[in-house]
Amino acid sequence: AAMAPRIPSTRLALHHFDTSYSLHLGALWPSVRAGLLCEQKYGALLNNFAAADHVPQELELLNATDFISEAPQKAQQWQQGAAAGEAARGCQGRTVMQAEMMTQAKTSPLLSASVSSKIKCYTFPRGDITRFRPARLDALGLLDYYLMDAASLLPVLALNVQPDDFVLDLCAAPGGKTLALLQTGFCGHLAANDVSVSRTKRLYQILHSYVPKEVRDTVSVTSYDGRDWDQVKGGTFHKVLVDVPCTTDRHSAMEEDNNIFHKSRTKERQMLPMLQLQLLMAGILAAKPGGEVVYSTCSLSPLQNECVVE
């Protein structure tokens, strides 16, 4: 056993993805695979609490743009292009998927949320691998922006927080989505929970680096097992974000450290859909009648997404 060749966890992950995702995504998989293996591009989430009015102009001079404010315009252009294509091909050429995508583009809560929200996140254009400078402190000692995967903002936008909403971030650490929720300026109270005490410490650090004390006082940070949340405070939240632990596909394909495809974590990986289901049920029970719950992962796996929701 000591002399047997050790297969890297990243290779095991990629083999798993090639086997399962190629069936799920078909012809799309090669380009998605290339995207997973590319160096990660970050977005710069502006900190509305910092005195940094110059930052948008600075980023725009570097050719970065706020992808959230551009989203409605791009969606409208896409809809017009799709409509023109439909007219050219005739309605009989439309597939069910095309029809569903057009309907989602017209009614997506992401678009309405992006218009009403104060969230701004700058990204560089496709093909531009410019790196953002490190965040800087303002006169109040708050950092001017937070670097994160821009796609991580989509669950926050989908939650569509309204003024004075009580919001629960059930699996909050390390804290990027929690910070984004606060950027809306709408949270009447925000409960940020994560079962990991060490990751919760990172969440505290982010709050202290980006958020003034009077706003931090509206946030309660806890380290309960999210599956038991309904026993703590059930049926009290207008909006609940359930961003569950998952295979974290990019990390699994790129990083050996803390990789869930390590052979010692096989059972943990196999049990993920059950854990995700339990967390989603707890999130539903935490919501008020008529409240809204967003379930999200950073995995392409249908077992961790559609199957859990179904």
Residue 165: strand pairing partners: 187
* Geometric angle at alpha carbon 308, from 302 and 310, rounded to 5°: 95
What size, in residues, is the chain? 310
Q: Which residues contact 1 (CB under 8 A, 6 or more apart)?
A: none
DSSP state letter for 206: H
Q: Is 91 marked active-site? A: no
Q: Which of 169, 114, 175 is nearest to 147 (CA)?
A: 175
Marked catalytic residue, from 91, 187, 298, 307: 298
Q: Where are the alpha helices (DSSP H) in the chain?
A: 9-25, 29-37, 55-61, 67-89, 96-107, 109-116, 153-159, 176-183, 197-210, 213-216, 229-233, 249-254, 266-270, 272-286, 306-309
Q: Are 42 and 129 in contact (CB under 8 A)?
A: no
Binding-site residue ranges: 171-177, 194, 225, 243
Residue 122: how many other CB atoms lie within 10 Å: 24
Rounded distance between C-alpha atoms, residue 119 and residue 273, angstroms: 31
DSSP states along 182-204: HHTS-EEEEEEE-S-HHHHHHHH
The catalytic site residues sit at 298
